[in-house]
Amino acid sequence: MKQHDHSAPSALLQTLVGAGVIVLALGLALGALSIPSNAGYAGVGPNFLPWLVAAALLVCGGFMVYEARSGGFRQMDEPSGDGAPYWGGFVWMSAGLLANAALITTIGFIFSCALCFVLAARGLRNAQGQSATGLKPWLSDSVTGLLIAAPVYWMFTQFLAINLPGLTQSGWL
Amino acid sequence: MDIWNQLLQGFMTAGTPVNLLWAFVGCALGTAVGVLPGIGPATAVAMLLPITAKVDATASMIFFAGIYYGAMYGGSTTSILLNTPGETASMVTAMEGNKMAKSGRAGAALATSAIGSFVAGTIATVLVTLFAPVVADFAVKLGPPEYFMLMLLAFTTVSAVLGQSAVRGLTALFVGLAAGLVGMDQITGQARYTGGVPELLDGIEIVLVAVGLFAVAEALHAVLFEGKVSESENRMSRVSMTRDDWRRSIPAWLRGTAIGAPFGCIPAGGTEIPTFLSYAAEKKLAKGRNLAEFGTKGAIEGVAGPEAANNATVTAALIPLLTLGIPVSNTTAILLGAFQNYGIQPGPQLFTSSAALVWALIASLYIGNVMLLVLNLPLVGMWVKLLKVPKPQLYAGILIFATVGAYGMRQSAFDLFLLYAIGVLGLVMRRFNFPTAPVVVGMILGPLAEAQFRNAVSIGEGSAMVFLQRPMSLAILLVVLTVLVLPRLLRRRAAALL
């Protein structure tokens, strides 16, 4: 039976969060089944903490579901920012981050990060409601992205000897 | 006398040109990340953790420490000048600091917070110098049951005491503990939750979790919810204090330090309670015209006290970190991770096994505080310009640094996908008001606590009664119960006074 009380859509989301924690707890419990207990002298073995964590998360998740169904999570801060999420910007930024992950070993750190910068900045510009027509913002973001990514790459590869992938083997690009 | 010699040795190590340069870069970077919204000291240190592969331990710990306390100086600049307070620690500063800035006294507010931070930071560093070795000597005598209880204390305070909701705090803690479970069990070598993936045997990289939860989640939150938020900036004025300002600030700094330092020393961290207490104390002690300034024109005591309390807490928090190996905040947890990357386990033995490193680190605190005073008083105008960096470029730029941290640690593109997933998780946590510190502390401290627990039960020949039979362990257990109750009462009291 569905409840038709005062619960706002956020109550549904809160229930989902609580349910997610319960699912995580069950997953951990499932994994704990396959961990042997060989406790030795200790009386507690490597499977003790996994079971404890699973049980604790189950209780926490259950309690959160209860809170969500009975008036919402307690002691919440006022959420910061606007009420309505701007999903368009989220998609741009996600695309940037995922493209970066997918391309970094092929096109190198500098270009991959610059691309991520351009896509993320696009999302944020749109979120601010900037009229981003024309080529200019794209161009300026690309240049800014390259100007940040390239020195970062050189600093880490040349001075700190941290391996970051390049387009070439030269260590500069 | 012995302490004195070792401290001098520390100054010799920290005073080499290379280490001075690391300290300076750390302080400057720390101030910058403190000023910039969207990135804090924990994120900055986490992103830079890959350097531990190449840079030697002393230099990088000096560098990280510089970022750690430099951010406290920078944070107050933002909370005074910008009308959107960031982290809880600077929230109290923002209350009076913002009012002062609005009535044209931004300069005096910045000055009292920088000098107050210096005074408190230096006094707290003296405390670290004097007490850390004593605590270490004492801590050597502690066995696994006592250690486990101390870690339980840290878990309790970070999850159930700080933050609003104990349920969400505990959930975050257990998620962190679950993440810490992945990999090889420390005692038996049993693989847990690796799903047969060989990379997971070493566990989940802390950089990924920290950078994902803080940096990526922050950027995603900004693009989703903060696009239309408009910020206004207060006008700067000359950074100086009048005679009257000094007269009112000095006692407030000292009181703030006295309130803040003890909170840092006990593994019951968080700057929220001491800063609020200091604010409440200043307000209660103020009289006449000064009292009338609270909440109207902005009272300088209300900035001086909490700022000093904040810095004293943060500096004194190094005592439990260095002597017990127990972190109580995001940043100290990541500093612990940095030590672990060098195969160094902070704890009582640190003062004997890595004496040179520890004393150089402590000496660098003195040096860094002086550097920061210079960076933040005459040069404050330079940092204020950072507030003008437009949001799109700022967050997009942070993502580039996030990539360096996440990829640089293990050179795996898979980690970047994981980073995104953790970022989305962090976004959900942020939206539903889950604290993040318990995740990071749980993940880093969890495996250590588990090992101590199992060793303790072994000592008790399989009986958990061992925790009650040893007086020290029983005492800490009682403290755990006290901290569960006491701060709630204190906070209610502080809130009633506001």
For the segment B426-480, what is each residue's pLDDT rounded down to a tens digit?
A: 999 988 889 888 999 899 999 999 999 988 988 888 788 889 999 999 999 998 8
Domain count, chain B: 1
Chain CA centroid to CA B360, Å: 20
Residue B119 distance to chain A (closest CA, Å): 33
- Find out whether B219 and B399 touch, Cβ atoms under 8 Å: yes
From CA B276, how far away is CA B348, in angstroms rounded?
32
What is the pLDDT at residue A80? 63
pLDDT in tens, B259-300: 999 888 876 657 777 888 899 899 889 888 888 888 888 899
pTM for this prediction: 0.88
Among B residues 84-113, those touching chain A with beta carbons less than 8 Å apart: none
Interface confidence: ipTM more than 0.85: yes
End-to-end CA distance of chain B: 45
- Residue B496: exposed, middle, or buried by beta-carbon count in 10 A (0-12, 13-18, 19+)? exposed
Cα nearest neighbour of A157 on chain B: B408
pLDDT, mean of residues B87-100: 76
Chain CA centroid to CA B442, Å: 15
Q: Are A144 and B221 a contacting pair at CB < 8 A? A: no
Any idea which residue has 């990088």 for tokens? B60
For the record, the structure tokens of A138 come out as: 């794209």
Q: Where are the alpha helices (DSSP H) in A7-135?
A: 9-33, 48-69, 87-128
The per-residue pLDDT of chain B, averaged, comes to: 88
Instruction: Using alpha carbons, select from B394, B418, B421, B397 the residue that is nearest to residue B407.
Output: B418
Question: Which residues of chain A make contact with B392, given a CB cutoff of 8 A?
Answer: 120-122, 124-125, 128, 141
Amino acid, res. A7: S
Buried b (16+ CB within 10 A) or exposed e, B203-214: bbbbbbbbbbbb
Residue B4 distance to chain A (closest CA, Å): 34
Identify the band that residue A1 occupies on the pLDDT scale cut at 50, 70 and 90: very low
Instruction: Using alpha carbons, select from B264, B459, B25, B399 the residue that is nearest to residue A117.
Output: B399
pLDDT in tens, A29-64: 999 988 887 766 666 788 889 999 999 999 999 999
Q: Among partner residues B170, B178, B428, which is closest to A17 by beta-carbon distance?
A: B428
For residue B181, give the H/E element and its range: helix B166-181
Pairing label, strands B183-184, B191-192: antiparallel
Instruction: Using alpha carbons, select from B472, B464, B431 the residue that is nearest to residue B140.
Output: B472
Q: Among partner residues B50, B223, B428, which is closest to A124 by beta-carbon distance?
A: B223
Among B residues 144-203, those touching chain A with beta carbons less than 8 Å apart: 164-165, 167-168, 170-171, 174-175, 177-178, 181, 185, 187-188, 190, 192-193
Would you give the DSSP letter of residue B236?
Answer: P
Chain CA centroid to CA B42, Å: 7
For the record, the structure tokens of A101 come out as: 């992950």
Which structural domain range is residue B359 located in? 2-497
Q: Are A92 and B223 a contacting pair at CB < 8 A? A: yes
Is the minimum CB–CB distance between B232 and chain A shorter than 8 Å? no
For the record, the structure tokens of A59 come out as: 């209780």
Identify the band that residue B22 occupies on the pLDDT scale cut at 50, 70 and 90: very high
* CB within 8 Å of B343: residues ≥ 6 apart: none
Angle, helices B301-316 vs B272-285, to 10°: value is 150
Any idea which residue has 């990289």 for tokens? B205
Cα nearest neighbour of A84 on chain B: B225
CA distances from B164 to B169, B432, B474 (A): 8, 12, 28
